[in-house]
Amino acid sequence: MQQIEEKYGADGKKALLYLDKIKLIETQWTTGSNGPEKAYHTYYSSVQINLIGSMADLSDIIYATTMSYDELSNYENKIISMMENNSIFIGDAIDKLGVSQTFLKGIINRSSVLQIKGYKIEKVADI
């Protein structure tokens, strides 16, 4: 993490945490010069996906995955501002934002600062 942060800054750290969140990289503890630290690596050189869903759900997924970083950041900030005790129920966020569950989950899955745990949205612990 330290090497990535030194080379790429805070954005590099966020990217690494995001790749860890979506399970595209593997972590393991190693012994470094400053004691135990996490090491990251991946086995994947390509990924294949197949989807089946309603047109409404697919349009929400496509929109959530193609929105600009600024739009995503705006949604992240709105969700974080609604949180009490660092979490909010998914249903409450849907009602307050006026979006579909599929769209909200698309935003959360794309986010590097938010995650879904059970029926709640929480901040990622490392950020």
Question: What is the 8-class DSSP label of residue 16?
Answer: H
* pLDDT value of residue 82: 94
| Rounded Cα distance, 30 and 8, in Å | 22
* Residue ranges covered by each domain of the chain: 2-41, 55-123
Phi-psi region of 17 (alpha: psi -120 to 50; beta: other; left: phi over 0): alpha
What percent of the chain shows pLDDT beyond 90? Answer: 46
pLDDT value of position 85? 85
What angle separates helix 101-110 from helix 69-82, to the nearest 10 degrees? 110
pTM score: 0.66
Residues 32-39, mean pLDDT to the nearest whole number: 81
Count CB neighbours of 17 within 10 A: 19
Instruction: Summarize pLDDT for 64-84 with one digit per residue, the tens.
Output: 989 999 999 999 999 999 998
**Residues 47-69: pLDDT tens digits?**
777 878 899 898 998 899 899 99
Q: What is the pLDDT of residue 126?
A: 60
Provide the CATH topology of domain 55-123.
Arc Repressor Mutant, subunit A (1.10.10)
Residue ranges of alpha helices (H) inside the chain are 2-21, 55-66, 69-82, 90-97, 101-110
